[in-house]
Amino acid sequence: MTTFRAAKYLAGVAVVALSAVSAQAEESVEVLHWWTSGGEAAALDVLKKDLESKGVSWADMPVAGGGGEQAMTALRARVTAGNAPTAVQMLGFDILDWAKEGALGNLNEVAAAEGWDSVVPTALQGFGKYDGNWISAPVNVHSTNWVWISKSALDAAGGKAPESWDELVAVLDKMQENGLTALAHGGQAWQDATIFDAVVLSLGTDFYKASMIDLDPAALGGDQMVEAFDRMSKLRSYVDDNFSGRDWNLASAMVIEGKAGMQMMGDWAKGEFLKAGQVPGQDFVCIRFPGTQGAVTFNSDQFAMFKVGDDRTGPQKLMASAIMSPTFQSAFNVVKGSVPARTDVPNDAFDDCGKKGMVDLADANSSGTLYGSMAHGHAAPAAVKNAVYDVVTRHFNGELSSQEAVEELAAAIDAVK
C-alpha cells in the first residue's frame, strides 16, 4: 500500500470510528437510580426495553439504598466533577433544589408537543416544573400509607382486616400470639419515617397538614403528636430484634415467606409480592393504614434531566417522551406497584390493589386530602425531612420518650425551617 493510499485508508477508518463514537453518544442515556430490588429492577427493565426499541441504549448507574440517600451523594460527586448523568431518578424537593442550582435541562418542547400540562396532576407538576419550565418526567405516583398483610396470617388472626387503630393492635397481638413476627420492618430512618407518616395521618388529615406540611409549632408540639409517638412505641413492640439496617424488600420477603404478619410500606412493596407470584386477595391483602381511609400521602419518582451537551439532548428527549407515553405508564406501573403519573391511563391492566390505588388517588385529589409524604421528600425540604428522620428514629430505637421526642421534633424543625 502506498503512503498516500495508506494515509487515505487510515483517515477513512478514523472517520468511521469517530462516526461510530458519535452515533453511540447520540443514542445512549446514562441513568442514575436506586431501583435495585427484584420488583424495582423488573419495572425498570420495562423502560430499558422501551428505549432500546427506539434505538437508545441504556448505560446503567445503580446505587443501592431504598430511600435514595446514597444515590444523591453519588450524584453530587458526578455533578461537582462536571460529568452529570443524562437522567437521574429523584424525589420531590430534591428536584427543586437541583433546579434552583441551574443544573437541570428544559423539557418544554416535549411537554408542549405531548400536552403534559393537561394530563399530569397538579400536585406532581409542583415537582416536575420550576419557574414554569418542565425539568423532569414523572414516572409514577406512589402512595405511602399502605399495609401489606399475609392472607394466611390474617385468617389465623380472625380474618378481618383492621379498620381502626384498636383493631390494628388486636390483629397484631393475635399474630404475635400465633408465633409470628407481627410487623416486618427494616430499621432505616426512611422506613421509620414512612410508618410515622401514616401514624400522623391516622390522627386526622388536618393534623397531618398542620404538622407535616405547614410545620405549625402548635401541632408539632401538642398532645396529638405525643399520641403519635406513643403509637410508634406500640408498633415497635411488634418488630423483631434483628430489624436494624434491614432493607425494605427483605421485610417484604418476611411477609411473603410467612415469617411475618404484615408490613407498613409504600405501594412499591406490591412489586415484591407480585414478583414472588403472589395474588392480591388470595395470598396477600392491601389496605390503607387504619384511620387513613380517604386520604393519601404520596411521592412520585421522576427522572430529572440534567444539562448535558447537545450530543446528548436528543436521547434525553426521547427518554422523557418514552416515560410519559400512556402505554409505558401502564406497563411500568403494573409491574412497579404504583399508579400512573397521568390521569388518562386506563386501569384495565391493573390488579385489584392497583385499581384501588387509582381510585383512592383520584378521590383524595378531588377531596383535597392528597398530601405529599414527609418521609419521601414531598411535604417539606430536605433539611426538615432530615430533622424528622433523626427524631423519629431515635425515638423508635428507645433513645427518647414520646414527650422528649415531641419537644425535640418541634425544636429541630424550628431550627431548620
Q: Return the domain boundaries, the chain.
A: 27-142+299-356, 144-298+374-416
Alpha helices in 27-86, H assignment, sequence order? 38-53, 69-80
Fold entry, domain 27-142+299-356:
D-Maltodextrin-Binding Protein; domain 2 (3.40.190)
- Identify the pLDDT of residue 9: 36
Q: What is the pLDDT of residue 336?
A: 85
- H-state helical runs in 81-221: 92-100, 108-114, 116-119, 122-128, 151-156, 165-177, 189-202, 205-208, 217-220
Q: Does the pLDDT value for residue 196 go beyond 50? A: yes
Residue 327 C-alpha cell reads as 402505554
Q: What CA–CA distance (Å, rounded) separates 281 from 287?
A: 11
Give 144-298+374-416's CATH code, choosing from 3.10.180.10, 3.40.50.12160, 1.20.120.400, 3.40.190.10. 3.40.190.10
Q: Is residue 218 scored above 50 in pLDDT?
A: yes
* Inter-axis angle of helices 223-236 and 189-202, nearest 10: 130
Ranges 22-31, 61-70, 340-349, most confident: 340-349
Residue 402 CA to residue 409 CA, distance in Å, equals 10
The 10s digit of each residue's pLDDT in 292-338 is 999 999 999 999 999 988 888 999 999 999 999 999 999 989 888 89
What phi, psi does 324 have (nearest 5°)?
Answer: -90, 0
Residue 356 near residue 163, CB atoms below 8 Å: no
> Strands 370-372 and 142-143: what pairing?
unpaired
At residue 335, the pLDDT reads 84
| pTM of the entire predicted model | 0.83
* pLDDT for res 42: 87
Query: What secondary structure letter does DSSP report for 91?
Result: E
Identify which has the larger pLDDT, 124 or 108. Answer: 108
State which amino acid sits at residue 31: V
Q: Do domains 27-142+299-356 and 144-298+374-416 have the same CATH topology?
A: yes
Side chain identity at residue 196, one-letter code: F
Dihedral sign computed on CA atoms, order 254, 257, 261, 264: positive
pLDDT at 66: 64
